Structure 1
Amino acid sequence: MLEPIAIRRLPVVALAASGLVLTACQEEPETTPAAPPPAARPTSAPATPPTPPVLSRADLIQAAEAAASAYAAGGAADRDSLSGRRFAVRQAFGCQGAAPAPAAAEDAAGDGLARWSWGAERKTLRLSLTPGDWTQSALISGGDAGWEAVEGFWLNRPWMRAEGCPAAQGDPLASGPAAPSPQTVGLAAVHEQDGSRLGRRNGRAYSFVVRGEGDQPAAAPVGGYRLVLEGRLTAFPDGRAFQCRATSPDQRPVCVAAAQIDRVAFEDAAGAVLSEWRPG
């Protein structure tokens, strides 16, 4: 009689145990996976305006042509964005040989052109450039009252934008050497009142002597030399970098740009620096 009773109780115990397990499962709290933190937005640095390219000799000549055209037409050129721009002008000089003898007096007076000449007994070469005194020029008069002195440098052969020597040759049937054309494009190095005197020449020439190897005399250059002018354009009182003047409507206007010169250098035709000057 005992066996049937045991058989009948087993399911009750099993059901009770399963109920406990079910209850425990139901009472266990549900866990929800934590949401991932929001992705940080990438921060971008403020956009920096690109640095304008350095102006070359060709750029300055092109800007001078635009200013001359506007002046000849009786109006002012559109306000340019050249003020504050850096420039590096490289131009050839002495391509046709040594400067003639009268050039020495012109050099002493200061005409703003580079040249080379023979030294004593043609054993050395002298490279020289004396800036012109443009302080009282009509191109400068009425300018910034803060300019105490203005020294001038010409961009020679402004009809040619290339930096090297001209390839065109003179007419062999001409009766004599032709006089050079007047200068029409230049850089006016301005010096403010109470400014540093270190960059001023005050009539003194940039000068360098080329000597030969050992006891040999210096040789005449092949391809001339190069003058390098580097600095930053500034502006006349009207805010424009260039100022133009002409004495007649039938003459090409002369246009100069106000500038601060940071470096003057002489190079050979291959670009090797022979001598340089920096203010300070």
Structure 2
Amino acid sequence: MTDRRTSGWRAWAAAGIFVGLVVAGVLLTRPAPEPAPKPVATPAPTPMLPTIPQPLPPLSRADLIDAASRAASSFASGEQRPASDLPGRRFALNIPFGCGGPTEDLKKASTGWSYDADKETLRVKVTPEVWTEAPILKRIAAGVAFEAAEGFWIRRPWQRSDLCPAEVATPQPIPSPSGSPTPAPGPMPAPEAIPSTIPPVRQTLGVVELFEPGTKREERRNGRAYQAVQKLAPGEMALDRGLRLVAEGRLVALDKDKAIGCWSPSPDRRPVCLIRVRFDRIAITGPTGEHILAEWKS
């Protein structure tokens, strides 16, 4: 009886050990649980910075000529010009002058230059236009009260370049076999096409500053010329290419939101257009702006 109980107990013990070994094997072979993913730090959103508008570049000679051409076309066609963003815009206008060489008598001339090679001295003179009583300005600026008006003509408004114009070559007659010259070949012009004398130039585009009542009188030139005297070694500057007047400032409204006004007495004549400005700087430089001879700021 005792042996039978001992045998049964041993059987149960062996079974328990077997079951324990099986469970331990299952636990040992089970893959370890993957570690929980670490929380990823989310960067704080970057605050949106306000966009700073970039200033527009100053209007050049070509820009002013194009704007005036559109204004002249609208005037000639009787069209209503659309609203303009020109008032308030900066401009940098280059006006070449003295392109034909030195002025014979600079004291009597309004604009020009002279050079004394012996003394190595360059003298320059530029006189602004005084348009206070000009009838054309009174028509264009009819709605503006002003006490004085000064400015400059933009000569040769068909030329957008800031440099002096190219010289026009005169056609030379072609010698004939008999020895007498014959005219150069080409279409026969009408008799009135080539005048015997060059008529006075009619200026059609200018920039003008209007001095309204209450403005400082010392800001006006009142016909006084901008003049400069500077020592200059021969060949230091290409004077054969003329000099340059530089006018900088901003455009001012002449009529509501428009800075350009035009007028003509006849539809067959090109309108005269004036651009109202406020001059901040006037300078006289070399032919390409590389040498500042003198400048005036206001």
The answer to whether the aligner puts 1:75 opposite 2:79 as a matched pair is yes
Residues 1:167 and 1:126: Cα distance change in structure 2 (over 3 Å): same
Q: How does 1:169-208 map to 2 (within 5 A)?
A: 169=168, 171=170, 178-208=198-228
From 278, 281, 284, the counterpart of 1:263? 281
Q: How does 1:163-174 map to 2 (within 5 A)?
A: 163-169=162-168, 171=170
Where does residue 137 of structure 2 map in the other structure? 139
Question: Which TM-score applies when normalising by structure 2?
Answer: 0.70
Where does residue 237 of structure 1 map in the other structure? 255
CA distance in 2, matches of 1:150, 1:273: 29
Deviation at 1:104, TM superposition (A): 5.7
- Which portions of structure 1, spanning 4 or more consecutive aligned residues, are displaced by more than 4 angstroms? 32-38, 103-106, 121-125, 172-177, 210-213
Residues 142-178 of structure 1: per-residue CA shift (max 9 Å, x gap): 2322x33221211111111001111141546778662
Q: 8 Å contact 1:82–1:240 — kept in the other structure?
A: yes
Q: 8 Å contact 2:230–2:293 — kept in the other structure?
A: no
The answer to whether the aligner puts 1:152 opposite 2:172 as a matched pair is no
How many pairs does the alignment contain?
265
CA distance in 2, matches of 1:33, 1:206: 80
Deviation at 1:208, TM superposition (A): 1.4
The answer to whether the aligner puts 1:224 opposite 2:221 as a matched pair is no
CA distance in 1, matches of 2:147, 2:75: 26
Q: Unpaired runs of 5+ in structure 2?
A: 1-35, 173-193
Where does residue 116 of structure 1 map in the other structure? 113
SS at match of 1:222: helix
CA distance in 1, matches of 2:284, 2:83: 34
Residues 1:122 and 1:38: Cα distance change in structure 2 (over 3 Å): closer
Q: Unpaired runs of 5+ in structure 1?
A: 1-31, 108-113
Question: Which TM-score applies when normalising by structure 1?
Answer: 0.74
Where does residue 12 of structure 1 map in the other structure? none
Residues 1:195 and 1:67: Cα distance change in structure 2 (over 3 Å): same
After alignment, is 226-235 or 175-184 more displaced?
175-184
